[in-house]
Amino acid sequence: MNAAASKPAIVAVLMERSIGIGLLGAGTVGGALVRRLVGESDAIAAKTGLTFDVRRIGVNDLERERDFEVTEGLLTDDPFEVVNYPTVALVVEVMGGKDPAGDLILAALEAGKPVVTANKELIASRGPELIAAAERAGVPLLFEAAVGGGIPIIRPLSETLAGERLDRVLGIVNGTTNYILTQMAEEGASYAAALAAAQELGYAETDPTADVSGADAAAKAAILASLAFGTWVGVEDVYAEGIEDLTAVDMSFAAEFGYVVKLVAVCERTADGVSARVHPAMIPLDHPLASIRGAMNAVFIEGVAIESLLFAGPGAGGEPTATAVLGDVIDAARETLAGAQVAPRIRFSPGDLVPFADIQTRWYVRLQVDDRPGVLAQIASGFGDAGVSIRSVWQEGVDDEAALIVVTHSAPEASQREAIASLRKIDEVIEVASVIRVLGTNP
């Protein structure tokens, strides 16, 4: 269908007394959204002048019990029926996953229907294609809930800060891992015990891989970097390392040295280009992100004129995420009702992506070594030969072994790795027990 030709038809449908919503997915977020659209319809109408009506909901299991009222014919297990339903004027996708969500969104946009999605995985992998389809159709594609759950961050980055030169975005964008790390740091819990507690509280899935491996945060980092710098960074361009190897011992050393360990998304623009990465990092205790505890999320933005901004709040959960989705629904309805050709909210320009090996990082390295004369000198040479300068050394001998902690100055990631590889070859090095990158402003 010609999208431009279908646009007046969508405006006409939107201008009905009540705006028809087609919902794809009725899990935690979808259910919360339906309850809010029904239960708070008067308050929403009073504030916005808009009323909404959920006309079709696409679900996997028609028989499952729902926590909202299900009227005859509301549910369907054919998601394309939702998109194509004549009085559905706006499509909300909260089903997750790349397939078939991507094709459903494209079909909705091609039919000239505005789309709101919470799907970080999809946006982080097919963002430019979907954004281009929305631009062709002249309708909004909004995804505030894709990063940071209830925290407004997509709109500030792509609209409010569109005129700002942003250099760095740091994010704690995964609540499950932040809960686990907080338990380890504050309660001295092991990784396994903290993960079990996160599962018990419903933060972590039975299979927690997407959270603990950094994959969930990597998709969010890709979106943050792309919007902040206006150069597309796909999820495949994001280096991701998880929290599985962290120990309570290192949490305690971090605290002793004035740091806290967080899983951080680091998006940067330098003279060489842009980059995004996710890995555990020691953050100085006086940095605003150090105070983000439990399942909270936060995004810290650094720019030339605004200096720094902190956005913090609940990064997941049905109700906070539904707030973000609902805000997009209202915005998309307003914009489409205004009848104008919708201007794209973000354009991507070509730019260089800096390979992770070239990124400047600082490392904390904990070693277990034989306590013998000359060992420290060999270790210092290992760093020096790789071009890595040592910032500080801490050592404590017990019997004939010593625990040794080296914190380095900034050096390319590849050089840091070369140094560690050479330390592993030293006979007196019993173990390179852990390596954690250190964030900070000092070189």
Instruction: Give the residues lining the site for ligand HSE (CB under 6 A).
Output: 174-176, 203, 211, 216, 315-316
Identify which of residues 174 and 275 has a Cβ nearer to ligand HSE in the complex. Answer: 174
CB of 75 to ligand HSE, least distance (A): 24
Q: Which two tokens stand for residue 442?
A: 């000092």
Distance CA 266, CA 301 (A): 10
Do residues 285 and 259 touch, judged by C-beta distance below 8 A? yes
User: For ligand HSE, which is the closer residue by CB, 84 or 199?
Assistant: 199
How many other CB atoms are found less than 10 A from the CB of residue 306?
A: 13
Could you write out the DSSP letters of every residue in 206-264?
SS-HHHHTSHHHHHHHHHHHHHHHSS---GGGSEE--STT--HHHHHHHHHTTEEEEEE
Nearer to ligand HSE, 20 or 320 (CB): 320
**Backbone angles phi and psi of 337, in degrees to 5:** -65, -30
Give the span between the Cα atoms of 49 and 2, in whole angstroms: 30
Alpha carbon distance 37, 400 (integer Å): 68
Helices of type H across 111-171: 120-137, 154-155
Paired tokens of 132? 């281009």
> Looking at residue 341, what DSSP letter applies?
P
Single-letter amino acid, residue 258? G
Q: Is-contact 118 324, C-beta < 8 A?
A: yes
Q: Identify whether 262 is a catalytic site residue.
A: no
**Residue 6: partners with Cβ closer than 8 Å, 6 or more residues away:** 111, 112, 137
Among 113, 220, 262, 425, the active-site one is 220
Active site residues: 220
